[in-house]
Amino acid sequence: MRRLALARAALVAPIAAAILGPQPVSAQSEAIDRAVEEVADTIIEIRHHIHQYPELSNREFETAALVADHLRALGLEVETEVAHTGVVGILRGDRPGPTVAARADMDALPVTEETPYPFRSEVRTTYLGQEVGVSHACGHDVHTAALLGVASVLSSMREELPGTVVFIFQPAEEGPPPGEEGGAPLMIEEGVLKNPRPEAIFGLHTNPSLEVGQLGYVVGPIMASSDHFRIRLHGKQSHGAAPEKSVDPVVMASQVVMALQTIRSRNLPPLQPSVISVGIVRGGERFNIIPNEVLLEGTVRTYDNDVRDTIVQRMDEILAGITAAAGGSYELDYQRGAPPTINDEDLARQAVPSLQRAVGAENVIEVDPLMVAEDFAYFAQIVPGFYFQLGTTKPGTTSGFNHTPDFMADDSSVPVAIQAMSRVVIDYLEANSPSTGR
């Protein structure tokens, strides 16, 4: 009963805001409110199940089966095994109109959960040769359940729906295991954005920095690219007591780590955000031996592909200079990951009023972009995309950030997500359907 009260309480604020706002509540808005309230309890139960039984990237077999069964029960056209374990559901409205897509990611993380939830994960598995706990420490259980809720709401309004909605349930957003393909790039390669091709795509992500009932958005870049670099510095091994006989890769590594920071401070515009972080420095086997080699490994984040090009160029130049001066050599392996996630400006400005109708204008917040990455970016490179943030922290409580053992997304955020995404999708279809004189 307490969970049901929380779910319904989360719906009161957006409904009241719509009723008390300057514009009258439309019959469609009332229909959305009723439909969300009707499905909230069931969808929260689904969220509990997905949370309690998480699966890692490209291993979302049970989650995908649950998703496919739910979509089939709603009467949607369903395709499975897209990019290994992905699921696509197509809802065709009875009225003519455009095609849009809504996307949720399904995979969990190798993180051992430390929350008080009665439905917390106890799952353990082997990941990269180590036994690990598995949990939805990034909120993908909320994403998946909420999008199933949206499918339930919109399918109940099929007769009045102007157009087609493609529901994309994506595996491996956190990255496929080494040696495997997956995620958004493979879904796109297998034709998820074709037949029918959406005119726009929408997605959301949990944000524990926002309270339940709040939604965050950005016009333009909202999340950064994610690149991975490995540097091997080759020197000459020697006794630590005879450094003159060595070419010391430890000294070279120290100089490289510091010099890489000058790219941000001296080679890029001060108002152009970027991050260059070295996360691994590994070398040596004994305290009194200067090693032959040192490994550096890290990440680059930015919102601009030209900045990525500049960073790679400067890394090469810095490495060449430092190693040449020391008499050593280097290898740079630079792998580009997800591109920046950039919200289409026109689509964002069209979607924000829909968010405001869902939760009230005072609860829709223009937030700062984040330097984390999201492979929703691949979809948004092909069709205009809008990605927004869902507040998940219950007022008066605390939560760890995403990817931490104590990350918690409150149940009451689920109906808010359903409400917000349903309104964004329906408003877009209505605004761009033939009946509106498009």
List the catalytic residues.
107, 173
Q: How many angstroms separate the Cα of 32 from the Cα of each of 83, 152, 422?
A: 32, 11, 8
Task: Identify whether the C-beta of residue 355 lies closer than 8 Å to the C-beta of residue 423.
Answer: yes
Radius of gyration in angstroms for the set of CA atoms belonging to the chain, rounded to a whole number: 24
**271 in the Ramachandran plot: left (φ > 0), alpha (ψ -120 to 50) or beta?**
alpha
Query: CB neighbours (10 Å) of residue 230?
Result: 14
What the block records as the tokens of 312 is: 């790679």
CA atoms within 13 A of residue 323's CA, in its CB half-sphere: 21
Query: CB-based contacts of 286: which residues, under 8 Å, 6+ apart?
Result: none
Task: Identify whether the C-beta of residue 224 lies closer than 8 Å to the C-beta of residue 369.
Answer: yes
CA atoms within 13 A of residue 422's CA, in its CB half-sphere: 34
Q: How many angstroms separate the Cα of 221 from the Cα of each of 131, 139, 184, 348, 366?
A: 37, 21, 18, 11, 12
Amino acid at 295: L
What the block records as the tokens of 329 is: 């050599």
CA distance 60 to 187: 15
CA distance 134 to 129: 14
Closest CA to 141 of 165, 166, 164, 111: 111
CA distance 18 to 25: 6
Q: Which residue reads 């969300």 in tokens?
A: 36
What the block records as the tokens of 67 is: 């998703």
Beta bridge partners of 233: 294, 330
Q: Which run of H or E residues covers position 329? A: strand 329-336
Beta bridge partners of 167: 89, 102
Any idea what DSSP says for residue 74? Answer: T
Beta bridge partners of 341: 223
